A and B are shown apart, each in its own frame.
Chain A
């Protein structure tokens, strides 16, 4: 019963991985498939694998995927145009053929009634697994430990970046900032914080400058690139509304003077 509920979900989620454009969504759909698999493991009398599937796969590996996605940039989404001629058609054709072949082949064999794992799991699934793992498969187990260490070292080596110049000290940093200010007029202080002088304190809301315009420097570049920056003056509209209801004349408010130069509408989440 569980199978028939989960199987369509899994197939749908897997197909989703093929079609969604954003990598994050694909990762989440994969999480669905993996969790469902974990449940199927439980049904198939593999409680240890059930736990490992959730902890290692869904917990560790998928999180690693998401982490890398964050580093690479969430905006990295596939374009719809296929660059290699005929690749999609051939891939679909090959996939269908492979699936059909496998299904046809499997339908040709009759597996008969399952033996079940009652006797094999006697004394507990984990204990029995451990028995096998540390007796018959002990060499393979040791080999995997070597493999894991190698992988860890390899990842470290790959991710490591050699520092080519000496680390800049605080004094040098300050001197450089002052020099930049003298030569290009770049502001020597820290970047303005978002939400300051605004009527909103969210990170995607730019700070307002004294003349009422929005400071682009106060918002993260990634947010600007994604186009999810809110318009601070637009958010002020409802405050004006409240003031009006309170009987305060909004035209007397000094912060309104720069409103015209700021984005008038909220431009949230434009894909």
Chain B
């Protein structure tokens, strides 16, 4: 790997519109506070009014954040390339001894893009939710959680030190827990929320340990300082840091082996899925690795680990997507796969970082689009998620179909659509770095074409396989307009690559890359990718499009299909490796606690109780008995006096 000069984070002070940086976080946070605190406090009449304007308040908060982000982005464009890093010190968070942690914000090229994605797509999802959640009695709480989610993610990407990032990281985990389990009356939703929370904790341990190692090694967690002195730490420390950060990213971004929560997380309302998959949450891992480039550049071992994890995940997710009949789970598998692409790019170093972020952005557009489209389909199908019960919906839901088709074409990498540019670049870079990894990525692209075509065919084409009494209808405008906007972005997202704009834009953050000589010409790679995708699409057409789709999933299927249906036995592996030993340990500890600790404690108390029960007989109520003991005491005193005086 060619070594490059690693850029040092050195922000200037925020001026002009950039000084309003804190407001980007504060607005959704205030919205969340108003909705979550005001909602329960409001009286019956105030509650009724609040139910009407509360959702719009949430939208407004995120909308203003987006406008601010936009304004700041243009302000940043106006700066010179060297002055595009801006810091803002809000207050001292805490200090203990030599440890000073400030609530500092960092606004640079990377966080600017993230800000636009989070607030922009987040705003569209908010608007969509107004329609989607219109009849939910607890929608105030829902919108409060959504705002909290966005605010936490903004803290994550804006913080200028790892501890602040950790704060946002945990906030995202909390908000995702609340939202996945939003319909907590469903047992499956509550269990899915718990699962997501617990698996995320495993990743969080990685991040907190990494932060601790940073404190121990560098004495600070500021990006500024660490990026300047990272190379001075020992190789072992850097390897540990890289692997710990990777563990954290695995948890948040649902990478193997911490991938199991993502599919279950579909229990949440569909806008939440869109938010988790497109704008927040799963992108946090990619952000973390990209932001920590100054560490990964010094640790090839961790970089290799990232690439391996990413490659496994992108294939794993793609295989899952092929077998799922639940439309949301199929999309979730595809998210896993696409995040794998991003992680792969991020693991490739400075040559890949811009493409990781580029793919992250385009994926944010088309995945939000498709999730919201799936939500729209479910909305029309009485919340049925089984694709085997869909079919021929393209005429009943024209807007949803068309927008969904834009997203579909984008994700499979149809030429000139946004996904085409971003995925193509990643595969090209991967092929240049390592042929095996590149071929795996290529294979993943083919599988993507297969399962997305399968999804399209099963949902919008073929025969009607509806449940009786279902009357599909187009969703209201408040839901379709965000779909149209996102569809447009899915189509046009590729403009960022024109003239390698995004590479140049991110170069001050991710470092200048010396592109290695690719084994084959880029144009050939592009053609190859298109060919592989075409094979995948054709396979789907021949296997699914031309046949009748049974309404019930066939039971007699190959081993591969069974494995993919059961998430490639991810849960079973977790169960055997972690859950069962953990349960055994807990049972053993419980037994020890009951028999050992409780035995000692309760035995002691029983002994004291028994002795007391006997001793209390001394309190017999007869004053003369008490007088006798008094006499005994007096005797002892006299004896003691005599012993002292005569002895």
Contact B625 A84 (CB under 8 A): yes
Interface status of A202 (Cβ within 8 A of chain B): no
Contact B624 A87 (CB under 8 A): yes
A108 to B639, alpha carbons, bound, how many Å? 14
Asked whether A94 and B638 contact (CB < 8 A) given A84-B622, A108-B646, the answer is no
Which residue of B is nearest A95, CB measured? B631
Of the listed stretches A52-60, A98-106, A233-241, name the one at the interface; the rest are far from the partner chain.
Answer: A98-106
A-contact 0/1 string along B161-205, CB 8 Å cutoff: 000000000000000000000000000000000000000000000
Contact A84 B624 (CB under 8 A): yes
A90 to B631, alpha carbons, bound, how many Å? 10
Interface status of B642 (Cβ within 8 A of chain A): yes
Interface status of B597 (Cβ within 8 A of chain A): no
Interface status of A9 (Cβ within 8 A of chain B): no
Contact B638 A98 (CB under 8 A): yes
Asked whether A94 and B639 contact (CB < 8 A) given A84-B622, A108-B646, the answer is no
Residues in A neighbouring B646, C-beta threshold 8 A:
108
A98 to B631, alpha carbons, bound, how many Å? 8
Contact A94 B628 (CB under 8 A): yes
Residues in B neighbouring A173, C-beta threshold 8 A:
none
Contact A94 B632 (CB under 8 A): yes
Asked whether A101 and B628 contact (CB < 8 A) given A84-B622, A108-B646, the answer is no
Q: Which of B622, B628, B641, B642 contacts A90 (CB 8 A)?
A: B628
Residues in A neighbouring B628, C-beta threshold 8 A:
87, 90-91, 94
Interface status of A97 (Cβ within 8 A of chain B): yes
Which residue of B is nearest A84, CB measured? B622
Residues in A neighbouring B639, C-beta threshold 8 A:
101
A-contact 0/1 string along B95-130, CB 8 Å cutoff: 000000000000000000000000000000000000
CB interface residues, A 171-194, toward B, < 8 Å? none
Residues in B neighbouring A91, C-beta threshold 8 A:
628, 631
A-contact 0/1 string along B615-647, CB 8 Å cutoff: 000001010110010011011001101100010
Q: Which of A84, A101, A105, A108 contacts B635 (CB 8 A)?
A: A101
Contact B624 A98 (CB under 8 A): no
Contact B631 A94 (CB under 8 A): yes
Residues in B neighbouring A105, C-beta threshold 8 A:
638, 641-642
B-contact 0/1 string along A93-122, CB 8 Å cutoff: 011011001101100100000000000000
Asked whether A98 and B635 contact (CB < 8 A) given A105-B642, A108-B646, the answer is yes
The prevalent SS among residues of B at the interface is helix
Residue count of chain A within 8 Å CB distance of chain B: 14
A-contact 0/1 string along B449-473, CB 8 Å cutoff: 0000000000000000000000000
Residues in B neighbouring A108, C-beta threshold 8 A:
646
Q: How far is the CB of B284 from chain A (nearest CB, A)?
A: 80
Residues in B neighbouring A87, C-beta threshold 8 A:
624-625, 628
CB interface residues, B 603-623, toward A, < 8 Å? 620, 622
The prevalent SS among residues of A at the interface is helix
A14 to B586, alpha carbons, bound, how many Å? 76
A248 to B632, alpha carbons, bound, how many Å? 75
Which residue of A is nearest B627, CB measured? A91
A-contact 0/1 string along B397-433, CB 8 Å cutoff: 0000000000000000000000000000000000000
Residue in A94, A95, A102 with the greatest tally of chain B CB atoms within 10 Å: A94
Q: How far is the CB of A99 from chain B (nearest CB, A)?
A: 11
Q: Which of A84, A94, A95, A101 contacts B642 (CB 8 A)?
A: A101
A154 to B620, alpha carbons, bound, how many Å? 29
Which residue of A is nearest B631, CB measured? A94
Residues in A neighbouring B632, C-beta threshold 8 A:
94
Which residue of B is nearest A105, CB measured? B642
Residues in B neighbouring A83, C-beta threshold 8 A:
622
Q: Which of B622, B625, B635, B641 contacts A94 (CB 8 A)?
A: B635
Residues in B neighbouring A90, C-beta threshold 8 A:
628
Which residue of B is nearest A94, CB measured? B631
A210 to B634, alpha carbons, bound, how many Å? 67
Residues in A neighbouring B642, C-beta threshold 8 A:
101, 104-105
Q: How far is the CB of B633 from chain A (nearest CB, A)?
A: 11
A94 to B624, alpha carbons, bound, how many Å? 13
Residues in A neighbouring B635, C-beta threshold 8 A:
94, 97-98, 101
A101 to B634, alpha carbons, bound, how many Å? 11
Which residue of B is nearest A90, CB measured? B628
A87 to B623, alpha carbons, bound, how many Å? 11
Q: Which of B622, B625, B638 contacts A101 (CB 8 A)?
A: B638
A97 to B638, alpha carbons, bound, how many Å? 10
Which residue of A is nearest B625, CB measured? A84
Residues in A neighbouring B631, C-beta threshold 8 A:
91, 94-95, 98
A196 to B592, alpha carbons, bound, how many Å? 93
Q: How far is the CB of A86 from chain B (nearest CB, A)?
A: 9
Residues in A neighbouring B638, C-beta threshold 8 A:
98, 101-102, 105
Q: How far is the CB of B626 from chain A (nearest CB, A)?
A: 11
Residues in B neighbouring A84, C-beta threshold 8 A:
620, 622, 624-625
Given A84-B624, A98-B638, 7 extra CB contacts under 8 A: A83-B622, A87-B624, A94-B632, A94-B635, A98-B631, A101-B635, A102-B638
Chain B residues with CB under 8 Å of chain A are: 620, 622, 624-625, 628, 631-632, 634-635, 638-639, 641-642, 646
Among all A-B residue pairs, the 6 with the closest Cβ atoms: A94-B631, A101-B638, A84-B622, A105-B642, A98-B635, A90-B628
In the assembled complex, 30 residue pairs joining A and B whose CB atoms fall closer than 8 Å, in A order, are: A83-B622, A84-B620, A84-B622, A84-B624, A84-B625, A87-B624, A87-B625, A87-B628, A90-B628, A91-B628, A91-B631, A94-B628, A94-B631, A94-B632, A94-B635, A95-B631, A97-B635, A98-B631, A98-B634, A98-B635, A98-B638, A101-B638, A101-B639, A101-B642, A102-B638, A104-B642, A105-B638, A105-B641, A105-B642, A108-B646
